[in-house]
Amino acid sequence: MGRKKRKEHPNGELRSDAREKARVERRWHILGDAKPPKAPAKNYSYIDELTRLQFELLKMQEWVRLEGLKVVVIFEGRDAAGKGGVIKRIAECLNPRSCRIVALATPTEREQGQWYFQRYVQHLPARGEIVLFDRSWYNRAGVEHVMGFCTEAEYREFLRACPLFEDMLVRSGIILIKYWFSVNDEEQERRFRDRMKNPIKRWKLSPMDIESRERWVEYSRAKDVMLKHTDRKRTPWFVVNADKKKKARLNCIAHLLRQVPYKDLRPVQIELPPRQPDNGYVRPKKSSQRWIAERY
């Protein structure tokens, strides 16, 4: 007899993410200062590899802070390609004071009257910061062009100006890294249907996402034109095979670590100082404060 097929829970992916994070945090205490191997073993553990890479991300972030580097990472790709999952694994272990996720909403009426790149410039990093763009100024080369939200002249001007804009960023000292997440048709269809069935993930599906399925070829052409115009030697595009989510996460993080030159900074051992004595201080009664109900 074959193995009984496990029934999928509507919150299955949410539970899986929580279990993954718990397992990673347990490994943090075990691995300590361990360095990631140059190449993973054939029987590698996803959790162990993710943990090692996250330790390296911590070292990289500290190096960025100490050296005053400015890092911008752009994540683009098809809907349901797994960009959010990678961004989450990168950011969850880093200090949010110097690592920010930028995911801009639809431009306001005022922003529509600005220079196109203006709304993105204000989110660029200062010294010692890392900024992760969950979609970016490349909206104009994709959804805005395909859905008719910009004119043909605006689209052509973007293709001309974007390489110049990015060259200015690099010349200013910004380390610019661009990732395109590629997922095959069948896998994207499966993920779409999974989101439609799962009430926890249904918010990820917008009317724009639904319509994008009807314009698959148009989006493919737009992506090809975008890469042709903006894949430059100083500002290249790196394509991530995202058919397998976990492999895509590990491959992308490992590649990112190789793009930022950093030294092996080990965590500093900290000794806790003695706590200040009370010196007669008396705390107010708990009954004088508004405590929330303990329902759990």
pTM higher than the cut 0.85: no
Amino acid code (one letter) for 25:
E
Q: Could you tell me the sign of the dihedral formed by the alpha carbons of 134, 136, 140, 141, in that order?
A: negative
At CA 52, angle to CA 98 and CA 72, rounded to 5? Answer: 30
The CA-to-CA distance between both ends of the chain, in Å, stands at 42
pLDDT in tens, 84-142: 999 999 999 999 999 999 999 999 999 999 999 999 999 999 999 999 999 999 999 99
- What is the distance between the alpha carbons of residues 196 and 201, in angstroms, rounded to a whole number? 8
Instruction: Average the pLDDT over 237-259 and give the result.
Output: 95
Instruction: Assess contact for 183 and 247: CB atoms under 8 A.
Output: no
Class of domain 69-243: alpha beta
Tell me what pLDDT residue 204 has. 67
Which tokens belong to 83?
Answer: 């960009």
Q: Tell me the pLDDT tens digit for each residue of 22-55.
A: 666 555 444 444 455 567 778 889 999 999 999 9
Helices (H), 12-82: 12-31, 46-67
* Segments making up each domain of the chain, as ranges: 69-243
